[in-house]
Each structure stands twice: as structure tokens, then as C-alpha cells.
Amino acid sequence: MSQTSQATADPTVIEDKSSFIIAISEFWKSYRKNKPAIVGTIIVLFFILLAIFANFIAPQGINDQNIANRLQPPSPAHWFGTDDFGRDIFSRILFGARLSLRVGFLSVIGSIIVGTLLGVLAGYFGKALDVVISRVFDILLAFPSILLSIAIVAILGPSLNNALVAIAIVNVPVFGRLVRSRVLTVKEEEYVMAARSIGMGDMRIIFHHVLPNSIAPIIVQGTLNIATAILDAAGLGFLGMGAQAPLPEWGKMLSDSREYIQNAPWTVLFPGLAIVLVVVGFNLIGDGLRDALDPRMKN
């Protein structure tokens, strides 16, 4: 038998693939039993589809103004009514979903990358490096997240992209401390000690053993933090520190419509409802992932 055939028939590789398939199957069985998590998944997928196909669904452009139709209540012509410039609120919410979801996903991805890197360095190598990184985390966590975000945006300048950067920076210590605590536990496991005893290098140990066994809490925390990031982006937009006109970001829409809350409540109702639904959806998914991935929750 050739070397290629032997490699293909390697029982270790087959066992690893089989174990992975079994783990995915067990995860899905556990996750789908969580009805709130399924509801959250449907909500989030619904908004993602709206964001993807906004160009085809939106009845009007996001900046199409008609002063004659300003502050019109919901009707067949304008499902969610119009704002103070006569723009269709339904169309703006659809395109606003793109902005809010983009901020949520990209800021959390950035936080995970940087936080995981710093957390691994602090937890695995320890000593002075751990002290320095941990103190930086402590300093960042000493500030309320929204205040720190405002300070960063004030330095960088008000814009949606700068708000995204600020939210990512604020969330770095959350993932950094999570990964650090997980690494401190995993690196003392017997299989890690065995790998070190046979001469496996630190980088191979980190990428083959430490990180794969730390991924579950990162996924759960990341899902929950997407909801937080969307809320922070909306808060910054409401304060005028995030998205700037004429972008249809949901927080900015709330800010622009607050003076019409009594005469035209629909201008505030629908953007606020969109924020609530997306945040609740991600929180339900996060809770479902935690229950499905945490062995202590199995029973």
C-alpha cells in the first residue's frame, strides 16, 4: 500500500473527524431543544435577510425626501410612516439593519482577535507579561463602557467607523480576561503537559490544544457582545457621536425623531423596536449557546 493510501486510512484522522461530527450533532440536539434560542435565531436571521435584500425590499431610497408627506402615519404607501423630511421609515430601517449588524459583527470580531491574543500571552506565558496585560485590562474595565466609548470617539472624531473602533477597544478586556482565565486552566491539563514533555513547541501547544479548548466560551461571549455592541452603537448615534446624517442608523434615527415623540410616535417606535428585537435575539442565541456548549448545563 502506498504512503498516500496509508495517510488516507489513518485511523487517527478518521477518529478525529468522527468525534467532530458527533460533537456537532450533540450540540445541535441540545441547542434545538432550547425554544427561546430558536426564537432568537429566527429573529436574527430575519434581520440579516432584511439587511442583505434591503435593495430589493425597500420601497424607496433612504434619502428620498418629500416634504409634502412629512410625518405621515403608517399607511399602505408607507408601512412605518415617514419622518420629518418625508423619508420612508421602513426603507431606512431596512438599510439601518446593515449598519447596526455590521458594527455588531465587526467590532466583536476585532475584540475577539485582539483580546484572544492578549489573553493567551498573559495566561500562557505569565510572569511580568501577565501583570502588565492584566493591569491594562483592569484600567479599561474601570470605566463604564459607554463613557469610554464616548471618550475614544471624541478623540477620533464622530463617525460610524470610529464608533466601531471605540466599541471594539472597549470590549477587548472582556475577551482578554475570559481567554486568560481559560488558558490558565487548560495549560495545566495532563494532555498539555504530555505535549510539552515530548518537546512540542509553545506555538503548537497554543494552536493545537489551548485555543481549541477555549473556543466555546469565546463563542458564547461573542454572541452576547454583539447585542451589547449594537446597543452601544445606537447609544453613540443617539448622542451624535456615532453615525452622522444622513445615514439611517437606528440610534441616529431615534435622536432625530425625539422631538416628534408626541405628535408622531411612529418615528421613534419602529427604530426602537428594531433595536429591541435584534438585541433580544442575540441574547437568546447567546443563552442557548451557553446551555448547549457548557457541559455543566447538560443536565
Reported as a single tens digit per residue, the pLDDT across 12-53 is: 444 455 655 766 777 778 778 888 999 999 999 999 999 999
H or E element, residue 131:
helix 127-141
Give dist(CA 217, CA 179) in Å, integer. Answer: 8
The candidate with the shortest Cα–Cα distance to 297, out of 42, 26, 99, is 26
Cell triple for 171: 470590549
Residue entry with cell 439601518? 96
Question: Which segments in the chain show pLDDT lower than 50?
Answer: 1-15, 299
CA neighbor of 291 nearest in space, from 65, 82, 28: 28
Q: What is the pLDDT of residues 63-91, one digit of tens each?
A: 888 888 888 889 888 899 888 888 999 99
Residue located via cell numbers 466599541: 167
Radius of gyration of the chain (CA): 23
Question: DSSP 3-state assignment of 82?
Answer: strand
Residue 88 DSSP one-character state: B
* Spatial separation of the C-alpha atoms in residues 236 and 226, rounded to whole Å: 15
- The DSSP letter of residue 68 is G
Burial 119-140 (b: 16+ CB within 10 A, else e): bbbbbbeeeeebeebbeebeeb
Question: What is the spatial distance between Cα 233 and Cα 153, in angstroms, rounded to a whole number?
Answer: 11
Whether 92 and 182 have beta carbons less than 8 Å apart is answered as no
Q: Identify which of 160, 129, 127, 149 has the alpha carbon closest to the alpha carbon of residue 237.
A: 160
CATH superfamily of 95-299: MetI-like (1.10.3720.10)
Task: Count Cβ atoms below 10 Å from residue 14 Cβ, excluding itself.
Answer: 11
Predicted confidence at residue 285, as pLDDT, reads: 92
Q: For residue 82, what are the β-bridge partners?
A: 88
Structure pTM?
0.85
Of 221, 216, 211, 217, the closest CA to residue 171 belongs to 221
Give CA 62 to chain center in angstroms.
Answer: 25
Cell readout for 80 is 412605518
Q: How many CB atoms lie within 10 A of CB 84?
A: 15
